Structure 1
Amino acid sequence: MTTSAIPVIDLSAALHGRADERLRAARAMEAACTDIGFFTVRGHGVPLATIDTLRSHARHFFNLPLATKREAAPADPAVPRGYRALGFDALSRANVGVAGAAPGDLKEYYHFGREQWPDAPYFTGEEGRRYFIPNRWPAAPAGFAEAAAAYYAHMERLTGEMMSLVALALGIDEDFFDDKIDRHITAMRINFYPEQTVAPEPGQLRAGAHTDYGLLTILNGENTAGGLQVCTRQGDWLPVETAPDTFVVNIGDLLMRWTNDRWVSNVHRVVNPPAEAGPAAQRISIAFFHHPNYDALVECVAPPGEAKYPPVRSGDYRTEKYQQTRV
């Protein structure tokens, strides 16, 4: 089940092309994104088996010995691929006004992108190589790469369809985003929040308060102790529950800029479990951070003279944010 304050949108009819249902879904997205910036979707068309398979492989990997997991880390820590150990980054550092000394987040994660791309300058040129990077996969479990690629492909399809609904919700042409996401630089992270056997430092969380950077984040999580919370406009922290066959969706900074703050890229965090939770507090979340083409110029759709932000290139924005989070 989901928390009633986080809207639930059923996409099944909208994704089958019915105009009235597409408009209904778009209006529901508009209401959610102008209020809290989060909603839950069901009827998304992603097979539960695809989700379960990747989750099973991830659980196997993250419960391997640390030395074995470290073999899947990149030689250069600046390369956003492969395994990251506990405390590698601090997401709250990318928020304006957050002190640079924020402690590292209490999570491990696996970072990857698409498996293949065309042999064309956009992908293989000097700038393209910053974003289209070969994935790094562990020796075990077998099939991890294939499970991740299958999940990624379903997310590409789903986010493409949802961005058409976003355009419909904003009152612009439904194909407005097509040429801005057709060569997207989306990364995925499988986050692992282990049992906490040592008390956190003051102010240290599983994931510090932050916003996401791109268009849409599509998250498949778990209802365990120490979960996701979103900050309401009134300043209250609201728990976000989920179910195995649903996705929690939130908008990122670039989509908020595109809407000139009409939609809110909201602050969220992952809190620590109670000390007595023990091994049951282990948690895995799978996040698809949908990000536009690196050369897409993000300019708000507000009338001239009313823009709150200067234009920014998609790739430049993400690179800046990544650099701010490193411990």
Structure 2
Amino acid sequence: MTATIPVIDLAPALNGDHPARVRVAREIDAACTEVGFFTIRGHGIPVEVIERLRDRASQFFNLPLQEKLLAQPEDPSVPRGYRAIGFEALSHGNTIDTPPDLKEYYHFGRPSWPDQPYYTSEQGQRFFVPNRWPDRPADFADAANDYYQRVERLAEQLMELTALALGLDEQFFADKIDRHITAMRINFYPEQKTAPEPGQLRAGEHTDYGLLTILNGENKPGGLQVQVRDGEWIPVETAPDTFVVNIGDLLMRWTNDRWVSNVHRVVNPPASAASLSQRISMGFFHHPNYDALIESVAPSGEARYPPVLSGEYRDEKYRVTRN
């Protein structure tokens, strides 16, 4: 039987009593055990907030390349601002050698943080980096910051449900994500006016690095696919008012493989549609505090992974995927 991506309504958990939260947590546990992906509705984020950021991103990515390049960071190692096609090959993070991904993206993080050593120390400055914004469109930063802060709250709520799903105290993750290092990416997949190189995709096969990815995409040719347990690749569809959530490597390690961080990719559009199909996806890559120690919470059995610090794991993954 072909696997499907479950759809979970969060409204009973966000608005209901404890038994309702437990019921939704059980749905999340089932989805994360089987496929590592699920779609959420009833999340409480107005569709206008999502559409506003998508519109401003579309305006930016359709500017002339030379203007977009002005929004690049001066230091290529700084994960902020614009990146053109050719900068990244995500499959390298899974030791698969492919040509660079056929995408552009805009990388940003939280808009501000306290004047405290955790954030401002030499180590903290590696993760808390001022955002870089283009001149056009003028309100791109406002739209992005509004979206980021709303999805940040949604991520906190999902991590409470995650704890319930794993049989832990609902606040188990609270002190491990209260100073998180989450970055967002707006990915732009332009028209493909020339044929891709052999093995080249819009985004190569990869797993995500952190806890949860909360993604809003578009149902257009050349979209997201996930590889399920039997090896089949299945499409992941989204609607304008829903998000796709998937498990990242650190949460899989935390659960000792009870939950699966599944391989996924973004495929090329059919040749007949390639020159017409632009696509935008907006991903919130929820990552714990950089000093959080990730170690198994499995109640019994041998841990399958050695403990690792959240920030060190992210740094290594960034290092191997950049060209």
TM-score (norm 2): 0.98
Report what 2:18 is aligned to: 19
Of the candidates 244, 250, 260, which is equivalent to residue 256 of structure 2?
260
Q: C-alpha separation between the residues in 2 aligned to 1:62 and 1:141?
A: 10
Q: Secondary structure at the match of 1:217?
A: strand
Is the contact made by 2:201 and 2:268 (CA closer than 8 Å) also made in structure 1? Answer: yes
Deviation of 1:303 after TM superposition, in Å, equals 4.0
Q: C-alpha separation between the residues in 2 aligned to 1:17 and 1:223?
A: 31
Report what 2:93 is aligned to: 94
Deviation of 1:40 after TM superposition, in Å, equals 0.1
* Shift >6 Å, 4+ stretches: none
Q: C-alpha separation between the residues in 2 aligned to 1:301 and 1:269?
A: 29
Q: Secondary structure at the match of 2:11?
A: coil
Seen in structure 2, the aligned counterparts of structure 1 residues 245 and 285 have a Cα distance that, compared at 3 Å, is same
Identity %: 70
Deviation of 1:280 after TM superposition, in Å, equals 3.3
Residue identity matched to 1:161: Q
Of the candidates 104, 115, 129, which is equivalent to residue 119 of structure 1?
115
- 2:160 equivalent to 1:160: no
- 2:4 equivalent to 1:5: yes
Give structure 2 stretches of 5+ with no counterpart: none
Report what 1:306 is aligned to: 302
Q: C-alpha separation between the residues in 1 aligned to 2:278 and 2:3?
A: 25
Residue identity matched to 1:5: T
RMSD: 1.1
- 2:185 equivalent to 1:186: no
Trace 1:1-327 onto structure 2 (pairs within 5 A): 5-95=4-94, 97-99=95-97, 102-303=98-299, 306-327=302-323
Q: Secondary structure at the match of 1:280?
A: coil
Residue identity matched to 1:231: Q
Q: C-alpha separation between the residues in 1 aligned to 2:162 and 2:316?
A: 26
Is the contact made by 2:3 and 2:234 (CA closer than 8 Å) also made in structure 1? Answer: no
Residue-pair matches, total: 322
Is the contact made by 2:3 and 2:228 (CA closer than 8 Å) also made in structure 1? Answer: no
Deviation of 1:279 after TM superposition, in Å, equals 4.5
CA deviations on 1:97-154 (whole Å, 9 max, x unpaired) are: 423xx21000000000001000000000010000000000000001000000000000
Is the contact made by 1:224 and 1:280 (CA closer than 8 Å) also made in structure 2? Answer: no
Is the contact made by 1:40 and 1:249 (CA closer than 8 Å) also made in structure 2? Answer: yes
Residue identity matched to 2:31: A
Q: C-alpha separation between the residues in 2 aligned to 1:197 and 1:183?
A: 43
